[in-house]
Chains A and B, each alone.
Chain A
Amino acid sequence: MDYTQDLSRRRLLKWGGASAATIAVSGVLLPNFGITAALAAELGDGDIGVLNYAYALEQLEAAFYTQVLQTPFSRMQPNDRVILTSIRDHEIAHRDFLKKALGRNAIPALEVDFSAVDFGSRRSVLATADTFENLGVAAYNGAGQLLSNPDYLVAAGSIVSIEARHAAAIADLIDPYSARSVGKGHVDAKGLDGALQPSQVLPKAAPFIATPVSAATLP
């Protein structure tokens, strides 16, 4: 294999992970054997890469909402709790579904970093949830065209509209019955929602993920 040519059309994306300097050569991670190196993850090629990408985002969301319910913010109202619990359960279901679908191709469990989130604050929790849900919507929207298998596309579609429903519910908790609760700020003048490539999404997720993740072949 011609490594030079191969590298020229591949892209290394590394999420967060302050300590582990990693380099991808032809999609193979060469960690520096730092503390998180054992958890370093390469998403992989083709449909597997896209599903692993989704799996990484679902891991992030599931871990976040699990923490939200374990350490509820002060004066969490019943309505907050019901909605956040339901969302947590969905994200866990999405994560587990993707893990099972990927089987032995699944990346490892990612180590998350929520140090920027104040779990005692409703405002901080909902703002983070808002970020994750809208990032998820744009990520799935942008990834659809990267899938080759139509069944995977419908499976991803079955998840993305739930993320969009979550985004609306979170926006409604922040600002009830507002334009924002039906997408203002994310839906453009043509009525289109966001769509981002993995290379645009991964840097936004990076601050919340400690494990170095590379996507050597995703655009």
Chain B
Amino acid sequence: MSNTSTILGEIEPELADTIVQGRRELFTRYARAGGILASAPLVLALASNQAFGQALPKQIEDTLNFALTLEYLEAAFYEAGNKSRGLIPSKYRTVFRTIGQHETAHVQLLQGVLGNAAVSAPGVDFTAGGQYADVFDNFDTFLTLSQTFEDLGVAAYKGQAGNLMSSGEVLTVALQIHSVEARHASEVRRIGLKLGWDGAFDKPLSKSAVLAAATPFLA
């Protein structure tokens, strides 16, 4: 057994398996030939929200488009929720308005980095085909989906971090989004009268697992 399996096994075997599977998946799908990005133009792009002036390595482009899709979903969810009259109790409105602002900012940031390569916003159905028909009328339903999206976002970014290692700048930005999603998840859980976490270590999810969870909400 390799040293790295050992370190992850210390967290918990299930998590180690998830990570190893996820890596196998990504290393077979991509050649990982991206190399190191020319960093200065990217930093400028991030600073200005202007498109990165040259093609991103395919692996990074795909990963950021995956993240962008999730951010579109979240941004649309809070946009609809925040304008649904009577949905969110007044004492929680600041929280959800702030979360919505962050998600919209994430969309703009990722669109800016991807430039012409950015995917467009997906169609959404937050009722998931009628399963959550009252999502924008019933705060409990809205809260359940909010927690689902936030926890999913945290696990998704974590699962994709390894795909971004060829660019320290892009990886850092992804991590800076990842922890914001975690702050959201914690507070949304708190509003639901829960602890903000499930344990001492958060688990990553593979791209396929994230897509399986998100697909019911994509129209």
Interface positions of A (Cβ within 8 A of B): 82-83, 86, 89-90, 93-94, 97, 100-101, 137, 140-142, 144-145, 149-155, 157-169, 172, 177-179, 181-184, 187, 189-195
A-B pairs, 8 with minimum CB distance: A191-B105, A145-B168, A164-B182, A165-B186, A168-B186, A161-B182, A93-B200, A164-B179
Complex Cα gap A160–B11 (Å) = 14
Contacts of B175 in A (CB 8 A): 140-141, 144, 157, 160, 193, 195
Complex Cα gap A101–B3 (Å) = 9
Contacts of B183 in A (CB 8 A): 164-165, 167-168, 181-183, 187, 193
* Residue from the list B11, B15, B180 in contact with A193, Cβ < 8 A: B180
Contacts of A191 in B (CB 8 A): 101-106, 109, 177, 180
B7 and A177 contacting across the interface, CB-CB below 8 Å = no
Partner-contacting stretch, out of B88-96, B126-134, B137-145 = B88-96
Candidate in A90, A177, A194, A195 with the most chain B CB atoms within 10 angstroms: A177
Complex Cα gap A195–B15 (Å) = 25
Complex Cα gap A152–B6 (Å) = 11
Complex Cα gap A89–B200 (Å) = 8
* Contacts known (A145-B172, A160-B178, A168-B196); A187 close to B102, Cβ less than 8 A: yes
B10 and A182 contacting across the interface, CB-CB below 8 Å = no
Interface string of B181-199 (1 = CB under 8 A from A): 1111111001100011101
Q: Which DSSP category, helix, strand, loop or mixed, fits chain B's interface?
A: helix
Q: List 18 A-B contacts (CB under 8 A).
A: A93-B200, A101-B7, A141-B179, A145-B168, A145-B171, A151-B4, A151-B7, A152-B4, A154-B8, A154-B161, A157-B204, A169-B195, A181-B187, A182-B99, A187-B183, A192-B173, A193-B175, A193-B183
B138 to chain A, nearest CB (A): 19
Contacts of A86 in B (CB 8 A): 195, 197
A192 and B180 contacting across the interface, CB-CB below 8 Å = yes
Is the C-beta of B53 less than 8 angstroms from some C-beta in chain A? no
Count class of interface residues, chain B: 35 or more
* Contacts known (A144-B175, A164-B179); A169 close to B190, Cβ less than 8 A: yes
Is the C-beta of B116 less than 8 angstroms from some C-beta in chain A? no
Contacts of B11 in A (CB 8 A): 97, 155, 158
Contacts of B195 in A (CB 8 A): 82-83, 86, 169
B176 and A193 contacting across the interface, CB-CB below 8 Å = yes
A101 and B204 contacting across the interface, CB-CB below 8 Å = no
Contacts of B190 in A (CB 8 A): 168-169, 172, 181
A184 and B91 contacting across the interface, CB-CB below 8 Å = no
Complex Cα gap A66–B10 (Å) = 22
* Contacts known (A157-B161, A165-B197); A177 close to B94, Cβ less than 8 A: yes
